A and B are shown apart, each in its own frame.
Chain A
């Protein structure tokens, strides 16, 4: 159905209503294979809601979302969408606190998810190696046996990113991955993102403009549930409408780091 073969994810005229309030109104979004896309906009613009629609957490009242050109995923359940290859990271780090770091990665790893499959599952040597490689990439190799609940905020975020990578999704949806991180942690997360973007398509919701500017990639601006502007960071910053609704109001905040 897609016009372009390399479009992996396409939202067409997606509208979401919460008790009559339209959080998203006729939003279009096309994500290319291997693209790293930033989604920005003022609070309440509907950025998180559109991610919720893609991963199945919220059902749109109209419009459709096609994945890999063919399937409309808006009627699928969350776990089915996840299995098809769309991974989601929420704003707050959500790891499994009573499992160890290693166990978190082990169950996130791409595998069959049925009850009987997990009953008989044994950790194969190559799986062990993959998890260890992942632990190294996210810098937690010394804390593999820690309970994940005992990690710092930044470490939890990385663990979650590591879990998503082992899940091997085609499309990764990240909601404010650097919110609440120190500068050093933010830099490291940036490196992780660059690394990930080489192999996967990513949509990142972000408030931190400085962070976004580090990536030479396409930016989509949303405002009041609609698409306002799409283009490079320079084009976005040169746009009057964007300046009015978003950057204008936040010019001061733009310089310093802002999180919401």
Chain B
């Protein structure tokens, strides 16, 4: 069964992926600059959703703190962009707070390579550290989730409190250029869109590799029965730490891309409500399926931008109602709906197998 045969079903899936990838990369041809920019932002969100799905959908650990990892990535890139925009002088908000010299931890962010690496590694290492203290001590379920919320509060409070070094509530903004190219120009935006689309594709391929490997089966085994996995000889804590860390790294990557497209990062973007919204994308799109999580993020954010333009107050009610509907009727999310349509056939074939039953040893 492990042999990859090109069954019609597999062919359709491959064609589906090809069409989706083509549509993604050709989007600049048929979307206005404004729409393209929005789509780019949604694609960045889809990367967060993929990472969340790895830890929640496949490993069964709910993190309500991914806003922090997203925010750390965004701040890392924001610091680079801010320094590039400020040229030889200090970032403006530092001057307002009476700081005379660039703080030591800002210095390395003059390098793009450092900022890009930090944007992924900082969140990944933070998650690894948090995971080390929680998973190794078998803290899980709702207790872990509450800890991730605490992480959000600590981080946002810290950033707001250290206004002189972080820009406080206003966050970092006023970016101008990247590699000397204006961030506002259509050409740059298009290039950044392609970078984001490529990052999403890369993240998707990475996650797909992870969940399709034996590693992924062990993750699902840990989700189904952590203790059982332990008595087979797997150490669940190591697996959980690694997945949490990868998931956080992906959120950091998404945060960096977000900054390119939106041009601002502030603590409100990484606070509790956005963190929970990220989970909703995955829940509504379909957890435990990568495509569901990614589509959930893109479509819900599209709906949000359309809907909240006309009825700004109603959006949250709509999102809440959608969540309730999905939890009650579609535990596997919107993608699960397609699965449901297929199941009757499969059940039938199972019943046909049943009489063959079990032969004696």
A108 at the interface (CB under 8 A from B): yes
Which of B25-33, B188-196, B218-226 touches A?
B218-226
**Min distance, Cβ A128 to any Cβ of chain B, angstroms:** 7
Closest beta carbon of chain A to B244's beta carbon, Å: 12
CB pair A102–B238 under 8 Å, yes or no, is no
Contacts of B218 in A (CB 8 A): 107, 118
A99 to B223, CA, bound (A): 10
Within 8 A of B (CB), among A99-139: 99, 102-104, 106-108, 113-115, 118-121, 123, 128, 136-137, 139
Indicate with 1 or 0, residue by residue over B191-235, a CB within 8 angstroms of chain A CB atoms.
Answer: 000000000000000000010011101101101110111111111
> CB < 8 Å: which of B215, B220, B223, B229 contacts A119?
B215
Q: Who on chain B is nearest to A149 by CB?
A: B224
Question: Of the candidates A87, A107, A139, which one forms a contact with B217 in the assembled complex, judged by CB atoms under 8 Å apart?
Answer: A107
Interface residue B239 (Cβ < 8 Å from any Cβ of A): yes
Q: Does B360 contact A (CB under 8 A)?
A: yes
Bound-state Cα–Cα, A99 to B361, Å? 24
Task: Determine if B88 is an interface residue (Cβ-Cβ < 8 Å).
Answer: no
Q: Determine if A191 and B231 form an interchain contact, defined as CB atoms under 8 angstroms apart.
A: no
Tell me whether B2 and A79 are in contact (CB under 8 A): no
A246 within 8 A of B: no
Tally chain A residues at the interface, Cβ within 8 Å: 49
A79 adjacent to B350 (CB under 8 Å): no
In angstroms, how far is the closest chain A Cβ from the Cβ of B179?
35
Bound CA–CA A73/B61 (angstroms): 30
Tell me the nearest residue of chain A to B347, going by C-beta.
A150
The answer to whether A195 and B221 touch across the interface, beta carbons within 8 angstroms, is no
Stretch at the interface among B5-13, B277-285, B298-306, B351-359: B351-359
Is A61's CB within 8 Å of the partner chain B?
A: no
- Which of the candidate stretches A11-19, A35-43, A140-148, A227-235 sits at the interface with the other chain? A140-148
Known contacts A79-B235, A140-B358, A163-B232; A119 and B217 CB within 8 A of each other? no
In the bound complex, residues from chain B placing their C-beta under 8 Å from that of A90 are 228
Q: How far is the CA of A145 from the CA of B238 in the complex (A)?
A: 28
Q: Knowing A96-B224, A115-B239 touch, does A167 contact B213 (C-beta < 8 A)?
A: no
Q: Is the CB of A139 within 8 A of B232?
A: no
Chain A residues within an 8 Å CB radius of B238: 114-115
B213 and A139 within 8 A (CB): no
A72, B63: Cα distance in complex, Å: 38
Q: How far, in angstroms, from A78 to B233 measured CA to CA in the complex?
A: 7
Contact call A96/B221, Cβ cutoff below 8 A: yes
Complex interface residues of chain A between 66 and 101 (CB less than 8 A to chain B): 77-79, 82-83, 87-88, 90, 94-99
CA distance A96 to B228 in the complex (A): 8
CA distance A83 to B234 in the complex (A): 8
Cα–Cα, bound, A82→B227 (Å)? 12
**Which B1-39 residues have C-beta < 8 A from chain A?**
1-2
The answer to whether B234 and A113 have CB atoms under 8 Å apart is: yes
The answer for the CA separation of A107 and B359 in the assembled complex, in Å, is 24
Contacts of B229 in A (CB 8 A): 96
Query: CB of A55 within 8 A of chain B?
Result: yes
Instruction: Contact check, B215 vs A115: say whether CB atoms are below 8 A apart.
Output: yes
B350 to chain A, nearest CB (A): 7
Distance, CA A115 to CA B1, complexed state (A) = 24
Cβ contacts under 8 Å, A128 to chain B: 2
Known contacts A123-B2, A142-B356, A145-B1, A98 near B232 by CB under 8 Å = no
Q: A97: which B residues are within 8 A, CB to CB?
A: 224
Q: Which 6 A-B pairs have the closest CB atoms?
A: A139-B358, A82-B233, A96-B224, A121-B214, A118-B215, A83-B233
Please name 10 further chain A to chain B contacts, defined as beta carbons within 8 Å, in addition to the given A55-B231, A195-B361, sorted by A numbering.
Answer: A83-B233, A99-B224, A103-B217, A104-B221, A106-B217, A107-B221, A118-B215, A118-B218, A136-B359, A144-B1
User: What would 8 A/B residue contacts be, using CB atoms closer than 8 Å?
Assistant: A79-B231, A82-B231, A99-B220, A113-B232, A119-B210, A139-B361, A143-B353, A167-B232
